[in-house]
Amino acid sequence: MAEKQKTLNGPVELTGVGLHTGEQVTLTILPAADNHGYKFQRVDLEGQPIIKADPDNVVSTERGTTLEEKGGRVYTTEHVLAALYALQVDNALIQLNGPEVPIMDGSSKPFVEGIKVVGLVEQEAERDYFVLTENIKWEDPEKGVEFLAIPDNNYRVTVMVDYNSPVLGTQHASMLDIRDFEKEIASCRTFCFLRELEYLADNNLIKGGDLDNAIVLVEREDISQNELNTLAKKLGKENLSVTYEGIGTLNHTALSFENEPARHKLLDIIGDLALVGRPIKAHILAARPGHNGNTRFAKVLKDQIKKQENQGKKFDLEKEPLYDTAAIEKMLPHRYPFLLVDKVMEITEDTIIGVKNVTMNEPQFTGHFPGNPIFPGVLQIEAMAQCGGVFALSKVEDPHLYSTYFMKIDNVKFKNMVRPGDTIVFELKLLSPIRRGLVNMGGVAYVNGKAVMSADMLAQVVKDRTE
Q: Active-site residues: which are they?
A: 291, 368
The sheet carrying 247-250 orders its strands as 191-193, 215-218, 247-250, 242-245
User: To which H or E segment does residue 408 belong?
Assistant: strand 402-414
Beta strand 280-287 with 130-131 is parallel
Total Cβ atoms within 10 A of residue 202 = 9
User: Which residues, in sequence order, are CB contacts of 230 under 8 Å at separation 6+?
Assistant: none
Classify residue 37 as left (phi > 0), alpha (psi -120 to 50) or beta. left
CB-CB contact of 206 with 100 (8 Å)? no
Classify residue 142 as left (phi > 0), alpha (psi -120 to 50) or beta. alpha
Torsion of the alpha carbons at 78, 79, 83 and 86, rounded to the nearest 10: 50
CB-CB contact of 386 with 439 (8 Å)? no
Q: What distance in Å separates the CA atoms of residue 450 and residue 310, rounded to the nearest whole number?
A: 8
- DSSP class per residue in 223-239: --HHHHHHHHHHHT-S-
